[in-house]
Amino acid sequence: MNERTHHFEVVVVGAGPAGLAAACEAAENGRRTALVDDTPWLGGQIWRGRQAHPTLPQAARWVERFKRTKAVLLDQCAVLGPGGNRILLAEHPSGPRQIEWERLILATGARELFLPFPGWTLPGNFGPGGLQSLAKHGWPVAGKRIVLAGSGPLLLAVGAGLRKMGANVISINEQAPLSRLISFGAGLFRWPSKLAQAARLKWTLRGTPFRGGAWPVAAQGAEQVRAVTLTDGRRQWTEECDLLACGFGLVPNVELPLALGCQLDNDFVRVDACQASSVAGIYCAGELTGIGGADAALVEGRIAGLAASGNHDAARPWVARCASWRRFSDALGSTFALREEVASLAAAETLVCRCEDVRFDRLKSFACWRDAKLQTRCGMGTCQGRVCGAAARILFGWGMESVRPPVLPGRVESLCQDEDKRISCTPKTTDG
Ligand SMILES: Cc1cc2nc3c(=O)[nH]c(=O)nc-3n(C[C@H](O)[C@H](O)[C@H](O)COP(=O)(O)OP(=O)(O)OC[C@H]3O[C@@H](n4cnc5c(N)ncnc54)[C@H](O)[C@@H]3O)c2cc1C
């Protein structure tokens, strides 16, 4: 075997909290480990390479810990899909890559769920996480009037973050009924770190109207969002704004696990107590297995890294802790379950697939996702159904029957690679 065909014992895809923790554990347990991520930073959606930020000591600890290991970091490297027996096809700006694995840990996280309503495609309407990402990377929000709407704890986190950056957060509108939010809040004492986080967010957001049981019905504006109409099911009102941040929670990025044959359970990857999926040698951790936040992702990542290294004894205490985070994830799921009304906000002419300009009334006549795709090209554009596919599931109850690589947009040459281009296990650090 020459140097170019060396494989890694453990390959981790995704450098968010789950993947970072998994890679640290695997490398510290003596496994030749690679951590692969399509972004140029460590830390995934929540930390985004800002580990030097004074409010993020946990991020700094994990990144420092990772840097002390011998793990190889392959950043800016998008994994496009399986490429044969225990090989991943990937793409780096400098060219195609093949990554060979013995044990694979998938920690590809989640994305925001967008549901169509009249005006949702107007410029100035963002996902809350997307808007926050732009702001974290320097896009100016100071003084902007922002309405937040949709569902999930991310609304509060984003609202607080935007306020700290000087935005004028007009209101936060959560579709879940207030009664459910109150009983969720009352049960938070079981997860003290979350209780403290919620209290901090509420303090930062003091004075900002927060409404439970309220959701958007339309966004208005000629070339840009200028106002949003909201409802609580009894009455409607309109709020003027410069930006709307609307997302209905998170959906797991299960395309890669699906392409590798992993089974799902209620839309998340099915794993056992050691994070092993239904496919031998493949483990999954973080938002892929349930939406539970960064603390849960870290614990799952640790378990996956230890289990993939064969150190099941060390994983045991974390398995016990994980049970508590699974209960937290279940509580999130039932609290922020979507109400029926948000699945019927689209008007006949509202775009559902904005890559291919497919309207709601075109889709209504089809029985399944496959038929709709074949007849309308819905889901066949740049996002490959990552936005409209998730929406169609809520709107029409359509499941995704299969996944075809590439799971992320990639070049044809990256999908037709020969064996010579496999990544070698040259220690440290960035893949150039
Ligand atoms: C847009 C957004 C913003 C968020 N902001 C916050 C926040 O401010 N506060 C908060 O508490 N929670 C936030 N969350 C939730 C947060 O992401 C989770 O709670 C937690 O961090 C998940 O960790 P993870 O490791 O499972 O996934 P992530 O942190 O999402 O990490 C997954 C990583 O995998 C990479 N990846 C995915 N697919 C591939 C592929 N095919 N090839 C290579 N790399 C790939 C992604 O680029 C990403 O870096 C946000 C979520 C989203 C979607």
**This prediction's pTM:** 0.93
State mean pLDDT over 223-249.
97
Q: What is the mean pLDDT of residues 283-293?
A: 96
**Which atom number of ligand 1 is nearest to the Cα of residue 288?**
26
Confidence of residue 345 (pLDDT cuts 50, 70, 90): very high
Q: 247-251, 366-370, 379-383: which has the minimum mean pLDDT?
A: 379-383
Q: Which of 20, 8, 24 is closest to 314 using CA atoms?
A: 24
List b or e across 94-131, with b for residues whose CB sees 16 or more CB atoms inside 10 angstroms. Answer: eebbbbbbebbbbbbbbbbbbbbbbbbebebbbbbbbb
**Cis? peptide before 406, omega within 30° of 0:** yes
- Whether residue 155 contacts residue 267, with contact meaning beta carbons closer than 8 Å, is answered with no
Mutation choice for ligand 1 from 45, 136, 194, 332, CB with most ligand atoms inside 8 A: 45
The per-residue pLDDT for 422 is 54
Query: For tokens 């600890």, what's the residue?
Result: 61
Please choose, from the candidates 78, 59, 75, the residue with its C-alpha nearest in 3D space to the C-alpha of residue 136. Answer: 59
Please name the residue whose Cα sits nearest to atom 49 of ligand 1. 44
Provide the pLDDT for residue 430.
39
Q: Ligand 1, from 13, 46, 75: best to mutate by most atoms within 8 Å of Cβ?
A: 46
> pLDDT value at position 3?
35
- Asked whether the beta carbons of 67 and 105 are under 8 A apart, the reply is no
Distance, CA 235 to ligand 1 centroid (Å)? 36
Q: Which two tokens stand for residue 259?
A: 């392409």
3 state SS of 368: coil
| Residue 393 and residue 399 in contact, taking contact as beta carbons nearer than 8 Å | yes
Neighbour tally for 41: CB within 10 Å = 15
Residue 49 to residue 25: CA distance in whole angstroms: 20
Q: Give 44-67 pLDDT, tens digit per residue.
A: 988 887 766 666 788 999 999 999
Residue nearest (by alpha carbon) to ligand 1 atom 1 = 129
Q: 102 pLDDT exceeds 70?
A: yes
Report the chain's mean pLDDT, rounded to a whole number: 92
Inter-residue contact 89 to 83 (CB < 8 Å)? yes
Pocket of ligand 1 (CB under 6 A): 13-19, 36-39, 44-46, 78-79, 107-112, 129-130, 132-133, 154, 157, 250, 253, 256, 286-287, 293-294, 297, 407-408
Q: Which residue has the tokens 């060390």?
A: 314
Determine if residue 14 is left, alpha or beta; phi over 0 gives left, psi from -120 to 50 gives alpha, anything else beta.
Answer: left
Exposure string over 236-250, b if 16+ CB within 10 A, otherwise e: eeebebbbbbbbbbb
Q: Which atom of ligand 1 lies closest to the CA of 300?
A: 26
Strands 351-353 and 110-112: unpaired
Cα–Cα distance, 23 to 286 (Å, whole number):
13
Plot region of 138 (φ>0 → left; ψ -120 to 50 → alpha; else → beta):
left
DSSP string for residues in 161-225? HHHHTT-EEEEEEESS-HHHHHHHHHGGGGSHHHHHHHHHHHHHTTTS-EEES-EEEEEE-SSS-
Residue 426 has pLDDT above 70, yes or no: no
Index of the ligand 1 atom closest to the CA of residue 292: 19
CA 35 to chain centre: 18
State what percent of residues in the chain have pLDDT above 90: 83
- Atom nearest to 407 CA in ligand 1: 41
Please check the confidence at residue 309 and state whether its pLDDT lies above 70: yes
pLDDT tens, position by position, 172-182 = 999 999 999 99
Residues 66-96 have pLDDT tens digits of 999 999 999 999 999 998 889 999 999 988 9
Report the C-alpha gap between 291 and 288 in whole angstroms: 7
* 206 exposure class (CB count in 10 Å sphere: 0-12, 13-18, 19+): exposed
Taking Cα atoms as reference points, which of 1, 50, 53, 72 lies closest to residue 426?
72
Per-residue pLDDT at 244 exceeds 60: yes
Which H helix or E strand runs over 160? helix 154-164
Q: What is the pLDDT of residue 429?
A: 44
